[in-house]
Amino acid sequence: MKTAKYIRVSTTEQNIARQRDKRYKNYVDKCSGSIPFDERPEASKLIDDVSNKKITHIVVHSISRLGRSTIDILKTIEYFTERAVCIEAEKEGFRTLDKNKRENATAKMVISIMATLSQWELEMASERRLEGIAKAKERGAYTANGGRKADNPAEWITKPKQVKIIKRLNAGQSIRDIAFREGCSVGLVQKTKKQAIELGMMGGLDSKTEKLNDYLKRVENFVEGLEE
């Protein structure tokens, strides 16, 4: 078993010696807890090492260190669990997997409660959004899509997030892996892939052989063809 310890401390907390563990490789992020897990420098290295099967067991002081929100934490746990990587939470006193790599019953219960809370948070946010829309309609200030002009496919596919997704797709990464690393939904990755295929943009953005400006030039030529 290849074990690592992940540590996240705030930018104002200087002393991390008490959290380090000499028995393991330590990944230490000194950053705000509001930053998504996969966007933290050391967490990103940990994800890469897990992908390369260098790490099979991760120790954290608390599962709260694994994301900026309940949803982010659940995504992180799911990502590692799918790769048979056990997370050991010292504060909560459980491991997500047992010695046979099966999900731990206690951990499943805690994660299930977290998922319920996460769903509640989403429903509350949706309720507040709908209430806001209703009030805006009463004032006559509401317009669909926020009053913005809908993007055409060529404009939509060249947005920064979509460009990053296409680069990862062409590098051979899986849809779920890309969604996790880019902090977006699986649906967005699938939509991006579908649009890129329809526009003839897939297969030409190999990060090892092509630069991004070559890709954008192709999009520009495509748009010019639409305008002719």
Among residues 10, 32, 126, 174, the one annotated as catalytic is: 10
Cα dihedral across residues 10, 11, 15, 20: positive or negative: positive
Please measure the distance between the N-terminal and C-terminal CA atoms of the chain and give it in whole angstroms.
61
Cβ atoms 63, 87 nearer than 8 A: yes
Q: How far apart are CA 103 and CA 99, in angstroms?
A: 10
DSSP state of 4: E
Q: Which amino acid is at 213?
A: N
Q: How far apart are CA 177 and CA 184, in angstroms?
A: 10
Catalytic annotation present for 118: no
Residues assigned a catalytic role: 10
